[in-house]
């Protein structure tokens, strides 16, 4: 085993310290001598195989090999980091420490919290080799996953597919990413995995024959130009084929009908790649719009290659990738290849740090108050996103995720540009701020010092930087509103010479159905609470003599009348709920009320109130089926209510939309709604069956007329058959 490892290291690594490798090998063997793996093998087989992956498949340097052999010592044995630092050096100890921290994050639980991601990512920023060892560790665990129970298999496979595979792609480790995806696929959907594998195997000879037919005349031409090259069929990975089948809703045969070859040139001159492209296009007709030049504009992970699609023999489409040997190594082993081609191979290499600057961007722009689930989703989004390439007015290139908008572009330039963005020009034309950008667009942002972020921006921006900045601004604005509400409250209390402890305010807020003091103060600030009524009633209640309160049952109403009056009066002198403004018996009162969720009334609907126990008056639409049923049992609890003349509050309404299914229907529906006075959508759900779709949409509206305008807009969309309001929103 040791001889094999030394042989691989000396063949693949630029510099090797054999003594250090031997010492770490013997140390790890002794440390794990009493441990076994789930397969029954000695535990040492795992760190050994991890070190072989690091030396052979993603070769970097001998320090990484030493750290790989020792990566489980601190976690699983009695030896500590101080000892490793003393015996093998600080560099090795720090890598082992980083890997140990990552491992500890996932032990005994699924990856679910943003804080875990934070620890993992920040531990790698210091030394990129930490994650390389972790990739190798995960790769070997996936290769031996058959020995653990099925529940653990699925948990580890899901974690690998969602995090490690796209993460490997971000670091340019193409080969590692593909294998992690295929192994995850095997344990998450074994039936589909085996079916795809079986069909690929059945078509193998046919494909090899066609690739030969395509390549032979091409090779003759390449030889005429004295180019040194390697040409081969590009391997198709099981998971990528399955994902295309699902995404395009097509059978295997249609997805796998596309042939693919790769031409790797042994040259340091990138111009040879373009010469080769010219030869390919001379021999076979290129397909328009299927050309990508990642040599001139590399991907974020430094991937470089030319991609084109041509019409080959028998009219079949063939994907062709053209790259140099160096580009191929970067595509396969990413960071490790970069390391190999650097003359100064130090851990503090600034260029290596650039591979993980996007990690810093995520966390530097994250608000301390940002919800953990938002941070988690942003991180996942950053892993999976494909890129577009857009330009500033001066021609500077900016990389953004697919579906980015001018607002994302503005925040990418600078947070101040984003905060004051009022409009945008794309390729010289003024466009809405929610317009999706495309590669090649030239974007100019129009700013105004009086402009501030709009809360609706959060619905269409894509980048974490934009989302985080908008939330941060919204939080600051909300704090100002809360502080203003608190100031109003304290002035009123002082004026009436009342005293409220913190607990008194908390109790009052709770009675008025507010979650906390902040929401209570916010309601005061925006005018949703009539604190004059609350405080006046409180003052009168405190000053009223005990004897003046009715004690004789004869003084009180009786029967149903008594019940209704008592319930009604129980809520007098209590402020209205968090949506206010209705008139009870034609008058504005301080009675607490709320809107029934069974029918979701909005201003303009004919409404009626129903007195409830503990929740004041519930406002229903007069046509509400639920109201009809409960009023049959006790009609005495019904009270007349009317909408006020003016109402600025937002209400939730629900719509059911049906029509002919077509690409982009969800986007068209959303745009028809959002583009009308920046309407806020609460939720939208589309289900398709054959060529039809049915959607349910809940949105915030001011009144019935407002809702009717939106219904009219949706009805005008091509393919929409019906738009109807449903009761429970």
Q: Can you list the positions of beta strands (E) in 402-457?
A: 421-426, 429-431, 443-447
75 is catalytic: yes
Distance CA 395, CA 583 (A): 60
The predicted pLDDT at position 541 comes to 58
Mean pLDDT by 10 residues, the chain (729 residues): 88 86 89 82 89 87 89 81 87 84 50 47 62 88 89 87 81 85 92 88 84 91 91 83 82 74 92 93 89 85 88 89 90 69 47 51 45 46 65 83 90 89 87 87 87 85 85 85 86 79 79 79 79 67 49 40 35 36 60 81 87 79 84 79 69 88 83 85 83 87 88 88 79
Instruction: Identify any residues that bridge with 723 across adjacent strands, giving them in sequence order.
Output: 657
> Among the options 35, 75, 208, 487, which is catalytic?
75
On the CB side of 347, CA atoms within 13 Å amount to 17
Residues in the chain, overall count:
729
Distance, in Å, from the CA atom of 465 to the CA atom of 280, rounded to the nearest integer, reads: 42
Residue 387: phi, psi to the nearest 5? -115, 155
CA distances from 413 to 79, 100, 489 (A): 48, 37, 42
Strand partners of residue 607: 621
For the domain with range 2-147, which CATH number is right: 3.40.50.2000, 3.40.50.150, 1.10.3210.10, 3.40.50.970?
Answer: 1.10.3210.10
State the DSSP string of 629-640.
HHHHH-GGGEE-
CATH of domain 199-341: 3.30.460.10
Task: List the Cα angle 582/586/590 in 5-degree steps.
Answer: 55
C-alpha separations of 607 from 128, 576, 611, 629, 637 in Å = 64, 17, 14, 16, 14
Contact between 612 and 567 (Cβ < 8 Å): yes
Q: Tell me whether domains 2-147 and 199-341 share a fold.
A: no
Tell me which residue of 680, 560, 661 sits closest to 611, measured CA to CA: 560
Least Cα distance to 256 among 232, 284, 287, 234 occurs for 234
pLDDT for 258: 67
289 classed as catalytic: no
What integer pLDDT is reported at residue 415 of this predicted model? 87
Burial class (CB in 10 A: 0-12, 13-18, 19+), 112: exposed
Q: What is the pLDDT of residue 703?
A: 86
Superfamily of domain 651-726: ACT domain (3.30.70.260)
Q: Are 159 and 110 in contact (CB under 8 A)?
A: yes
The per-residue DSSP string of 48-69 comes to: HHHHHHHHHTS---HHHHHHHH
Quote the CA–CA distance of 299 and 385 in Å, as a whole number.
Answer: 12
Within 10 angstroms of residue 674's Cβ, the number of other Cβ atoms is 18
Residue 599: other Cβ atoms inside 10 A: 23
Please, what sign has the CA dihedral across residues 152, 157, 160, 161?
A: negative
Q: Which residue shows structure tokens 């209205």?
A: 576
In this prediction, residue 364 carries a pLDDT of: 47
**74 close to 97: Cβ distance less than 8 angstroms:** yes
* pLDDT value of residue 592: 73
Structural domain spans, the chain: 2-147, 199-341, 651-726
């Amino acid at each position: 085993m040791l001889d094999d490892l030394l042989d691989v290291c000396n063949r693949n690594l630029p510099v090797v310290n054999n003594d250090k490798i031997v010492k770490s090998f013997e140390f790890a063997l002794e440390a794990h001598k009493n441990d076994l793996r789930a397969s029954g093998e000695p535990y040492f087989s795992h760190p050994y195989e991890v070190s072989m992956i690091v030396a052979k498949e993603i070769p970097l340097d001998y320090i990484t090999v030493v750290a790989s052999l020792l990566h489980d010592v601190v976690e699983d044995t009695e030896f500590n980091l101080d000892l490793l630092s003393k015996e093998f050096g600080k560099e090795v100890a720090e890598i082992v420490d980083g890997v140990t921290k990552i491992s500890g994050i996932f032990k005994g639980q699924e990856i679910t919290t943003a804080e875990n991601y934070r620890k993992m990512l920040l531990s790698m920023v210091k030394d990129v080799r930490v994650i390389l060892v972790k990739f190798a560790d995960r790769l070997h665990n996936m290769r031996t996953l058959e020995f653990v129970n099925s529940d653990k298999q699925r948990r580890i496979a899901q974690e690998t597919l969602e995090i490690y595979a796209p993460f490997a792609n971000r670091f340019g480790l193409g080969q590692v990413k593909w294998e992690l995806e295929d192994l995850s696929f095997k344990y998450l959907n074994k039936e589909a995995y085996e079916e795809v594998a079986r069909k690929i195997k059945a078509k193998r000879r046919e494909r090899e024959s066609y690739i030969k037919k395509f390549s032979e005349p091409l090779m003759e031409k390449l030889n005429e130009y004295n180019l040194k090259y390697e040409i081969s069929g590009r391997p198709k990975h099981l998971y990528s084929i399955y994902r295309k089948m699902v995404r395009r809703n097509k059978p295997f045969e249609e997805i796998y009908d596309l042939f693919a070859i790769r031409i790797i040139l042994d040259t340091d001159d990138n111009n040879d790649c373009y010469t080769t492209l010219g030869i390919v296009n001379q021999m076979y007709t290129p397909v328009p719009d299927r050309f990508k030049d990642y040599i001139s504009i590399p991907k974020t992970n430094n991937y470089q290659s030319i991609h084109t699609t041509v019409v080959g023999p028998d009219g079949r489409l063939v994907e062709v990738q053209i790259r140099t040997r160096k580009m191929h190594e970067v595509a396969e082993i990413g960071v490790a290849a970069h390391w190999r081609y650097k003359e100064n191979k130090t851990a503090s290499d600034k260029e290596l740090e650039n591979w993980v600057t996007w990690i810093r961007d995520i966390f530097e722009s994250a608000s301390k108050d940002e919800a953990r689930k938002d941070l988690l989703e942003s991180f996942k989004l950053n892993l999976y996103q494909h890129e577009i390439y857009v330009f500033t007015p001066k021609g500077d290139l900016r990389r953004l995720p697919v579906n980015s908008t001018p607002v994302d572009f503005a925040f990418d330039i600078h947070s101040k540009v984003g905060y004051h963005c009022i409009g945008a020009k794309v390729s010289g034309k003024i466009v809405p701020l929610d317009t999706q950008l495309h590669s090649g667009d030239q974007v100019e942002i129009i700013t105004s010092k009086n402009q501030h972020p709009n809360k609706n921006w959060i619905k269409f921006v894509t980048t974490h930087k934009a989302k985080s900045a908008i939330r941060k601004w919204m939080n600051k604005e909300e704090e100002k509103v809360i502080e203003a509400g608190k100031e109003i409250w304290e002035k009123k209390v002082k004026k009436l010479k009342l005293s409220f402890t913190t607990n008194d305010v908390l109790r009052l807020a709770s009675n008025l159905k507010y979650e906390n003091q902040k929401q209570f103060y916010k309601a005061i600030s925006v005018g949703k609470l009539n604190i004059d009524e609350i405080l006046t009633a409180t003052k009168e209640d405190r000053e009223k003599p005990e004897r003046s309160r009715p004690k004789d049952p004869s003084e009180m109403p009786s029967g149903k009348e008594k019940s209704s009056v008592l319930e009604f009066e129980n809520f007098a002198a209590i402020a209205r709920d968090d949506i206010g403004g209705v008139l009870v018996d034609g008058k504005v009162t301080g009675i607490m009320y709320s809107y029934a969720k069974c029918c979701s009334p909005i201003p303009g609907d004919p409404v009626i109130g129903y007195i409830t126990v503990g929740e004041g008056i519930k406002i229903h639409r007069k046509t509400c089926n639920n109201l009809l049923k409960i009023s049959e049992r006790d009609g005495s609890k019904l009270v007349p209510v009317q909408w006020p003349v003016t109402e600025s509050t937002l209400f939730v309404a629900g719509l059911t939309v049906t029509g002919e299914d077509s690409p982009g229907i969800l986007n068209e529906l959303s745009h028809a709604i959002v583009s009308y006075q920046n309407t806020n959508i609460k939720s939208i759900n589309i289900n398709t069956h054959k060529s039809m779709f049915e959607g349910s949409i809940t949105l915030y509206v001011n009144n019935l007329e407002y809702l009717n305008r939106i219904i009219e807009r949706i009805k005008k969309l091509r393919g929409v058959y019906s738009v109807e309001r449903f009761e429970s929103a």
